[in-house]
Amino acid sequence: MPETPREIETGTTTVGIVAKEGVVLAADRRATAGTMIAHKRTRKVYKLDTNLGLTTAGLVGDLQQLARYITAEVELYKLKRNTPMPVESCATLTANILAGRRYFPYWVQLVIGGVDRKGGSVYSLDLAGGSLPDKYVSTGSGSPYVYGVLEDHYRDDIQIGPATDLAIRGVYTAMKRDSATGEGIDVAVITKDAYAELSDAEVEKRKAAMKLT
């Protein structure tokens, strides 16, 4: 029998934060196989559309398959309706895909975030198809450390710049204590105007400004 979701541990750290002007998604780059570092440049933040993004934690094969599947569905929605898919619709679609594999599940934890006519929002999804919206979410083995940072620093009126710094600080903190988290930080910022990924130089600049060394 498959394990229940609460028994599953995924070795990574991802985070999604809602800000006044949009959403910030971030994740580390380390992929582990038990105690071995299997890959040092794993992609865990995916662009689904100009208004939607996804963070992934879990089995790499399942994650890549789901990312391709959801991206195709998002594109099909836009072609049929001539408008981007709303964030809640994307989360519901993904939850239904996950729920349909209850007996042979995708071994994943996902965060879907983006901006639509309602503003910015993020959803945490588990492998059984549960979908929960929140102001901030984190997944993976490093998430307890991230939540400690977010609980202390998040504010309802946070701007996109400070939210970006907060996401970096959260993942960086996890990297200091969680052995399955490391090898750098990928960050995506989504506003009503665009989906933008921060360069390594920009991430390092922000870390230096926060004295994270």
CATH classification at residue 43: 3.60.20.10
Looking at residue 108, its pLDDT comes to 83
Looking at residue 101, its pLDDT comes to 76
What's the rounded Cα separation, in Å, for the pair 114 and 129? 19
String of b and e for 79-97 (b: at least 16 CB within 10 Å)? eeeeebbbbbebbbbbbeb
Domains identified in the chain, total number: 1
In order of 33, 77, 192, the CA distances from 13 in angstroms are 15, 30, 26
The answer to whether residues 86 and 118 touch, using CB atoms and an 8 Å cutoff, is yes
Domain that holds residue 174: 5-209
What's the rounded Cα separation, in Å, for the pair 143 and 137? 9
Residue matched to tokens 């204590």: 177
Looking at residue 13, its pLDDT comes to 87
Which residues in the chain show pLDDT less than 70? 1-11, 30-41, 178-183
Looking at residue 181, its pLDDT comes to 62
pTM score: 0.88
What's the rounded Cα separation, in Å, for the pair 133 and 142? 20
Q: Which of 12, 56, 164, 191 is catalytic?
A: 12
The answer to whether residues 52 and 136 touch, using CB atoms and an 8 Å cutoff, is no
Looking at residue 178, its pLDDT comes to 65
Tell me, yes or no, if 12 is annotated catalytic: yes
Looking at residue 29, its pLDDT comes to 79
